[in-house]
Structure 1
Amino acid sequence: MSHALPSHRSNGNCQSTQSQIADLTDSLRDSKVHLLLAASGSVATIKLPLIVKALSVHPNLSIRVLLTPSARRFLAGQAAEQPTVSSLHDFPSVDAVYFDEDEWKEPWKRGNSILHIELRRWADMLVIAPLSANTMAKIVGGMADGIITSVVRAWDARGELDSDVAMNTAMWRHPITAKQIKTLSDEWGVGKDGQGNGWFEVLSVQQKTLACGDIGDGAMMEWTEIVKVIEDRLNLTES
């Protein structure tokens, strides 16, 4: 199966924060399904363009991408499977890509909207794939030091948030990881059957040869399975 990715097209975040928020607010009434698709600093970020491409078959889906600074380093055009971040704009479903610096581009003044709050209001679902060990630790600790962690910290617990952990096997097997997963899955979780009272779902990791050369668990779920989860949760059907 071919997974050709779009060519580079320059499309930087030149708008002011308030202009970005105005566009976001206008799209609340577009009758589309709204997905926030986030990636943090893991080599599995290179699968993000494939996820977006597969989801772009749904004309009723609007995607807004959130990237940490570390995630951006995996999408710098250094290989065919690692196109530039700006090329994400070429997919028809992608309406915006946000970075940490988009939150406070200019000094805030009373009456201005706040980007991470408006993103939370806009989204029907947030998916973090991959969720790195570092970002997972921040989320469990309640930190809000970037666009992704700020959206999660402000998330309405009645909405759905799915995450797909990706890290080295040694990091996955570290005792602190088990404690953090317990918080996300048991204390905040939606339950094994999806019928729990929680709001956070941790998708299963897999065992494979990792980018570092180690063989073990901790790898992100296959990107095709992530697509299926999103389509199922959002009731998307291919047109």
Structure 2
Amino acid sequence: MPPTESARALRILVASSIPSPIEEPFLSTLIAQKNIAVRSIVDSAEWKTSTPYASIPNVSTDRSQPCRPFSDHDDVHRTAAELCAWADLLVLAPMDANTLAKMLHGVTDSLILEILRSWDVSKRTLLVLGMSTLMWENPMTKKQISKIRRKWNWVRVLHPLLWTFESKGKRYLPWEGREELMGAIQNQLDLMTLGQDVDVSMGQTPKHSLSLRPAAKPSSPLPPEIWSMILDFTGDWELAKRLNVYTTLPTPQCWLRAASKEGPHSFMDKLEWAILTGTLDDVKHLFNTHTAPQWLSSQAVRIIMRFAMVPLLYYLESNHADLFWASFGHAFLPDKASAVFGRVEILEYWRTSPTFLNKEYTVDAIDGASRAGFVHILEWWRNSGLPMKYSEAALEQASSRGQIEVLEWWKRASMRDDGHVRTSGDESEPEGSVPPTRKPLRLKPGKAISFATQAGSLSTLRWWVTSTIPFSHEDTVAKLASTHGHVDILDFWQLLHGEKMIYDNQVLVGATKMGHRDVLEWWKKSGLRVEYKTCDIEEALEDGVEGVKGQQVRRWWALNGLNLGVGTSEWMRTKVLNQS
């Protein structure tokens, strides 16, 4: 089963349509970074000479041309689709003028162009052009770049790689875009991981936004001392600073420099501090007196999202469009507002904003809201008039987290007039005139029962059993409960199914490997026939946990008939627990 909580790496697809001196150093730098996974496509001629990285060649999709190392041209098309699905970010570095022209006209005669034509435009693309100075200065290039900037807002054009021609051949000019490219990638990594350390129980005010404060401080019916006590109790330093309430809480590491006596130094530090503690006028003043950056820091974005600073979003959208799009464009706002911050105000802003006419968002929005327990966010999506995009992860993650209220919401939202829920295989539509927003949603239970078992959420397991919703993967419950040491779930499952409880010899193997002596004892006393092989148990003991838990299961097996000093036939013979 996939993990439910661990943060994954930013997956970057690097594609080069021509050989260049920047490719290998760039890939070396990327591969050395933490939290980044890289796959690359290189020029076919360069691939034949081999590279120190696992790359694939930019083969032709023309069926009359060879396509090695792919088995056939269908394999090329399949690989393009797989890479598009895998990657979070596409980096074209460099792309030559010929490929640029083909891209703008939708041509798909190579693997790179096939990927560009198939690319999900809710995911960003970074473009480094590579061409001669003569081509770069040609009006056609300026026209093409202008079109990309006006029409292709998912593509960010960075500093080009240029060259001239001399008597000795091609001479590359110094490339000044490395820092810009790495900064853009770091920005994407920061935005993707934004919210992974956010406590969703803190700072959530679904009905009222803690936006940028007005110039005049509102009167409070409570004395300042009481407010200080309340906010000290919450442990939320940022909320105290946002509300301008004195606190004795220690300053978080990320705010030490800005909160010091010297105050913030760089423009971004000053901007972050103004966003947290100042007014909208303070933020405007900073922008009016400084050159706007290419993008906001992840800390600035986090504060804007956390406190639903809609007036500031309006200001950035109207006055700093490029900065706004780089920081909040594509699916970022709806996904993070739904899955991480639980802010209806930002969702409503996004829904009505002219910048987001296509209303791009991913399944992460609704799946994440389910995981976080944001019923009010799910209800907003249901009433928004927008299509509901979600996957099996919505119910799987809610089950893993024990979000019973979320599960109840999904059950109500899927209920048909006849009292039955609409599941993923149910294609029937309700009769009569029903508004699209109120049509029963299709439930996608997926492996919800397995996720609940693995997490040890007995209350969730009980909910599924009594919900009348069809679900599968019941055969995994005994094994997962044994492997993860959940005796209470084993008790419940046996009470529910009795002798018809589904299990195999892996229940003892998993418990042994993970050091759960209490689970082994449960199976011994269960009255159920449990088989095992000495070879499997020996392997589990060798590969299993060490320390006290490892010693406990070894001692348990020694007391319950395990003999490792036997012949091969006996070693592989199927035995029954507590029977000779």
1:61 aligns with 2:36: yes
| Structure showing the higher strand proportion among its residues | 1
1:35–1:124 Cα contact (<8 Å) kept:
yes
Equivalent residues in 2 for 1:42-57, closer than 5 Å: 45-57=20-32
| Alignment gaps of 5+ in structure 1 | 1-28, 77-83, 90-95, 189-197
Q: CA deviation at 1:211?
A: 4.9
Q: CA deviation at 1:144?
A: 0.8
Map of 1:172 onto structure 2: 136
Map of 1:23 onto structure 2: none
Map of 1:116 onto structure 2: 80
Map of 1:85 onto structure 2: 50
Q: CA deviation at 1:35?
A: 0.2
Map of 1:15 onto structure 2: none
Cα 1:69–1:36 change in 2 (3 A) is: same
Equivalent residues in 2 for 1:217-236, closer than 5 Å: 221-235=176-190
Equivalent residues in 2 for 1:189-208, closer than 5 Å: 198-205=153-160
Map of 1:5 onto structure 2: none
TM-score norm. by structure 2 comes to 0.28
Measured in 2, the distance between the counterparts of 1:233 and 1:152 equals 19
Cα 1:33–1:102 change in 2 (3 A) is: farther
1:144–1:150 Cα contact (<8 Å) kept:
yes
What's the secondary structure of 1:166's corresponding residue? strand
2:164–2:173 Cα contact (<8 Å) kept:
no
What's the secondary structure of 1:165's corresponding residue? strand
1:165–1:220 Cα contact (<8 Å) kept:
no
Map of 1:150 onto structure 2: 114
Measured in 1, the distance between the counterparts of 2:96 and 2:51 equals 22
1:130 aligns with 2:103: no
Cα 1:57–1:107 change in 2 (3 A) is: closer
Map of 1:34 onto structure 2: 11
2:158–2:177 Cα contact (<8 Å) kept:
no
What's the secondary structure of 1:152's corresponding residue? helix
Q: CA deviation at 1:30?
A: 9.1
| Structure showing the higher helix proportion among its residues | 2
Map of 2:165 onto structure 1: 212
1:168–1:218 Cα contact (<8 Å) kept:
no
Measured in 1, the distance between the counterparts of 2:141 and 2:97 equals 8
Q: CA deviation at 1:162?
A: 0.8
Cα 1:47–1:107 change in 2 (3 A) is: closer
Q: CA deviation at 1:212?
A: 2.3
Measured in 2, the distance between the counterparts of 1:38 and 1:120 equals 12
Shifted more, 220-229 versus 153-162: the winner is: 220-229
RMSD of Structure 2 on Structure 1 (CA) = 3.5
Higher relative contact order (CA 8 A, sep 6+): 1
Deviations 1:1-23 (A, max 9, x none): xxxxxxxxxxxxxxxxxxxxxxx
Q: CA deviation at 1:156?
A: 0.8
Map of 1:105 onto structure 2: 71
TM-score norm. by structure 1 comes to 0.63
1:144–1:153 Cα contact (<8 Å) kept:
yes
Map of 1:19 onto structure 2: none
Cα 1:152–1:87 change in 2 (3 A) is: same
1:68–1:146 Cα contact (<8 Å) kept:
no
Deviations 1:22-74 (A, max 9, x none): xxxxxxx99322100011125xx22111111112232321100012336x2xx
Cα 1:135–1:55 change in 2 (3 A) is: same
Deviations 1:98-130 (A, max 9, x none): 432368523649xx9811111101000000011
Q: CA deviation at 1:218?
A: 8.7
What's the secondary structure of 1:145's corresponding residue? coil
Runs ≥4 residues deviating over 6 A: none
Shifted more, 223-232 versus 47-56: the winner is: 223-232
2:41–2:57 Cα contact (<8 Å) kept:
yes
Aligned length: 178
Cα 1:108–1:168 change in 2 (3 A) is: closer
Q: CA deviation at 1:229?
A: 2.0
The one-letter amino acid of 1:50's match is P
Structure with higher Rg: it is 2
Map of 1:16 onto structure 2: none
The one-letter amino acid of 2:143's match is K
Identity %: 25
Q: CA deviation at 1:223?
A: 2.8
Measured in 2, the distance between the counterparts of 1:30 and 1:160 equals 20
2:14–2:93 Cα contact (<8 Å) kept:
yes
Cα 1:107–1:175 change in 2 (3 A) is: closer
The one-letter amino acid of 1:68's match is D
